[in-house]
Amino acid sequence: MAAASATAAPARLPRHIAVIMDGNGRWAERRRRPRAVGHRAGARAVNVCIDFCLERGVEALTLFAFSSENWGRPEEEVGALMKLFLNALEREVDELHRRGVRVRFIGERERFGETIRKQMDAAEARTAGNARLHLTVAASYGGRWDIARAARALAEDVAAGRLAPEAIDEAALGARVCLADLPPPDLFIRTGGEMRISNFLLWQMAYTELWFTDLLWPELDAATLQRALDDYAGRERRFGLTGAQIAAPKSETAE
Ligand code: FPP
């Protein structure tokens, strides 16, 4: 998919939705169940979200499944999440492939065990030719890690003589962060009631529309996602321009 520049256009259907799936733990705790039960319920909500994007024709969906910081959670919870990821990879990839979904992972893959890494590689290879929905799972991912990695890539290019320091600009860095081949997220959805970005796509979400709900991730349904889309459709995206500039077609504002 061609990466779109941040052009000012009336908001309609988001091309790319990024999601923080928060509230699994609280959902389980409210039912006096272990947190792992909440994560399993969360995995079901992932399918609700994918189905919705496929039905509506959203081109890209990026899910924050496990942050760089989540490694610090109790060993038992990290273990349960790893098991869940592995099960999902084993169970869901065939169906996703059949439905034309391209699956990719962003994050520090080397921190996962070999079995999961191999499954991730296999899922990516299997679905590489699909383009109906670009599903990216951010796992062991952090926005700061992403930007630091891109900065290191720039430094390596400069050190090797492939890039002049004065050629370093937003486009050069933007080409080296994750998801550089996708349009930036148009809409960010976070469940669970917290109003923060939590080190998700820090570079990519500079002009993303933010939408929050108190609903816990396992409670997600199509009606909630539709509310987010309706809200998004009513927003005026200005990208730093004025409302009048957005309203007037380009030819009218050109000198
Ligand atoms: C945040 O809720 C959620 C996570 C850290 C894990 C997200 C994982 C899933 C939704 C399950 C599987 C995902 C895939 C892609 C198969 P939390 O535990 O922080 O909830 P809390 O804020 O209520 O404690």
Helix (H, G, I), strand (E, B) or coil at 133: strand
What was the pLDDT predicted at 10? 45
107 lines ligand 1 (CB under 6 A): no
What was the pLDDT predicted at 254? 44
What was the pLDDT predicted at 6? 47
CATH architecture group of domain 13-142+185-239: 3-Layer(aba) Sandwich (3.40)
Closest CA to 187 of 218, 138, 229: 229
What was the pLDDT predicted at 188? 98
What was the pLDDT predicted at 117? 96
Catalytic residue among 70, 130, 157, 199: 70
Predicted TM-score of the model (pTM)? 0.93
Catalytic site includes residue 121: no
Catalytic site includes residue 70: yes
- The structural domains of the chain, with segments of one domain joined by +, span 13-142+185-239
Mean pLDDT of the chain: 93
Binding region for Mg(2+): 22, 209
pLDDT in tens, 65-93: 999 999 999 999 999 999 999 999 999 99
73 lines ligand 1 (CB under 6 A): no
List alpha helices for the chain, DSSP H: 24-30, 35-56, 75-98, 114-127, 143-159, 170-174, 222-233, 243-247, 250-253
pLDDT in tens, 105-138: 999 999 999 999 999 999 999 999 999 999 999 9
